[in-house]
Structure 1
C-alpha cells in the first residue's frame, strides 16, 4: 500500500505519463495527493446518497460497484478514516471482499454540483458496513461531469432481479451506447485500487461487439492513474447506471490502451482510447421508482461525439451548461 506523503507514482503511472507527455505536469500535481482527508470532506461526504467503490474480488476479477445510503451514511471519524454505514447486496461481486478487508478505490461524487473526491485505501468490515483508512485522497476537477438532481426523496433501493452473462445483450448495448457517464475500476500490480469517472455526450462510449466496447480518453488531470494501472495490469471493471430506472450494468474484463490518437474512437478531443473486452456482465434491476434523477445538464467541456451533438437535441429536456448560462442571462438570474 502506498502512503502518498512519502511515495511517488508507481511504474505504470510513470510509463503512461511519459507516453502522453505529461510527466512534468503530473509531478507538479502529485502534491495534491494526501494521506489525510481534505478540509471540508466531512460536510461534503455527509450530503451524498451513494459511493462508487472499485476493487478486486476474491477471484482477482476487478469490479466497480455502487453503495447506496441515506445522506449521512458517509461519516468522517478521523483525519484518515471514513465510516461507510451501508452494505452492498449479497449479489454484488464485491460483497465478499468488503465483508473482510480489502484494498479499494472509492469515488464520492456530487452530481448536482459537479464535485468529486477520490479516496483510496484499505477497508475493514464493521457491523454498520465498513471503515476506510485513507492512503490517497484528492479532489478532481468538474470536467465532463453531467449535472443531475435527485427527483423525489432519497431512498436506499432494494434489489429486485440480478442476471448474469458472458456478453452484452442488445438492450445492454443500447444502455452503454447512449450513456453519458460511467465509472472504471483498476488496480496496480501491488493491489492498490482506484475508481474514476468517465463522462461525455451521449454516444461517447460505444459497443463494437457483444464482448467488446471502446471509449475515448479526454484531456484530464494528467496524473493518468487509471491508465497507469491499465498499463501494468489490464484487469478492469466498468459500472453503468440508468439514472431513471436505477438499473446497473457491471462489467469485468480486460482493457487495452490505444495510444494512437487517430484511432481514438473517431472522437474529437480524444487523446487516446481504451478497448475493453468483456468477461462477465451483471445486471441489477431495482423496483420501479426506487431511484429517479433529472435529465442531465451536459458539461460544457464535453467534446462532440459522432452520434450525439452537444446538448443531445434528440431529448428536449437535456441542456448543455452553456445553454443554462444563456438562459440565466436572459432571465437575470
Structure 2
C-alpha cells in the first residue's frame, strides 16, 4: 500500500454516506507502506501496544501487550519486531491463537500520556520462542483527539500467569468495567485490506449498555478515513478491548456490529455526527492482564463530547 492506494469499497461507501469523501482523499496522503523515519524512535520508546487480529473461527479480538521500552522496534520501517518470549505470553489471551506466519495483525502504538499514536497494519512473517516479526502493509499517524491522558509509572514483568474468566452476557464486574470505561480499542478486518485496531475514547460512561448482550458506542468526528467503519460495512465482526486501569484487568469482547447513521442525538453524545456502533456480544473474557502495572490518571481529552446519560 502507498499514499496513492484506493480505499476499499466499504470505506468508500461509508465516506460517501457521511459526506466526507473529499476530506478522506486529502488525508490519504499521510498513509504509507512503511513506518516513516520520525515514527521509528516513537515505536521503540513505547511500553504498550494495542493489537487486533482474528482467531481460527474468524472472530476478531483486540488486546494490549506490554514490555520494557524497546520491546517493539523497527530498523528500516518495513518490518516491526516485537520481542515477546514464550515464557511471558499469556495463553489465556485469545489474541495469541491468531498470531502465526501469514496472518494479519493490526497494531496501534499509543502513548496515553502525550496523546500520540501511530497505526500499523501488516502480516506476521515470524513467530518463534523469542517474539514475532510483522511486515508492514500500511502505516500512518492518528490525531490526538479523545485520548484520556495516563502515565504508566511502573510495570513489573512476571510470568504468563494471569487469572481469567469468560462469559456470554454483561453482568457483575464486567458490567462495572463497561460503565466506568473511558478508553477502548476495536479490532476489525477486511478480507483484502487485512486486520486493523483503532482507539476510541470519551468521558466515563461513553459506552452505553443497552442490555446484557448489547452496547452502543458513539462515533465522534475523526480523520474521515473510516477504516473501522469501512471494514464493518463489509464484515460486521468486531472485537473490543476495554482496559480497567484501576484494577489491572483487561476485558476482551468479540461479536458483531451494526452501523447506525442519522440517529437522534439531542444530548450531543456523538459530537454532531449522529453516528453510533451497536455491538452485539458473542463472548467475553476478563483477564488480570495488568496486575503489575501502576497508572496515574492526568486528565480527559478536551474534545470529548458528553457521555450518554
Give the Cα separation in 2 of the matches to 1:238 and 1:265.
25
- Give, in angstroms, the shift of residue 62 of structure 1: 0.6
The residue number in structure 1 matching 2:33 is 35
- Point out the structure with max Rg over C-alpha: 1
- Give, in angstroms, the shift of residue 191 of structure 1: 5.9
Give the Cα separation in 2 of the matches to 1:265 and 1:252.
29
Residue in structure 2 matching 1:137, options 136, 139, 142? 139
SS of 1:222's equivalent in the other structure is: coil
Equivalence map 1:1-333=2 (5 Å): 3-5=1-3, 7-86=5-84, 88-124=89-125, 125-151=127-153, 153-156=154-157, 158-190=160-192, 192-262=194-264, 267=269, 269-271=271-273, 272-286=275-289, 288=291, 290-307=292-309
Give the Cα separation in 2 of the matches to 1:147 and 1:199.
11
**What is the TM-score of this pair, normalised by structure 1?**
0.86
Give the Cα separation in 1 of the matches to 2:122 and 2:299.
32
- Give, in angstroms, the shift of residue 170 of structure 1: 2.5
Contact 2:108 2:117 in 1 (8 A): yes
Give the ranges of 4+ consecutive aligned residues of structure 1 lying more than 4 Å apart after TM superposition: 263-266
SS of 2:199's equivalent in the other structure is: strand
Give the Cα separation in 2 of the matches to 1:219 and 1:49.
28
CA, structure 1 residues 79+287, in 2 after alignment: closer, same or farther (shift >3 Å)? closer
The residue number in structure 2 matching 1:327 is none
Contact 1:245 1:292 in 2 (8 A): no
- Give, in angstroms, the shift of residue 159 of structure 1: 3.6
CA, structure 1 residues 296+212, in 2 after alignment: closer, same or farther (shift >3 Å)? farther
Deviates more, 1:278-287 or 1:203-212: 278-287
Contact 1:122 1:132 in 2 (8 A): yes
The residue number in structure 2 matching 1:310 is none
- RMSD across aligned C-alpha pairs, in angstroms? 1.8
Structure 1 unaligned residues grouped into runs of 5+: 308-333
**What is the TM-score of this pair, normalised by structure 2?**
0.93
- Give, in angstroms, the shift of residue 75 of structure 1: 1.1
- Give, in angstroms, the shift of residue 114 of structure 1: 0.5
- Give, in angstroms, the shift of residue 128 of structure 1: 1.7
Structure 2 unaligned residues grouped into runs of 5+: none
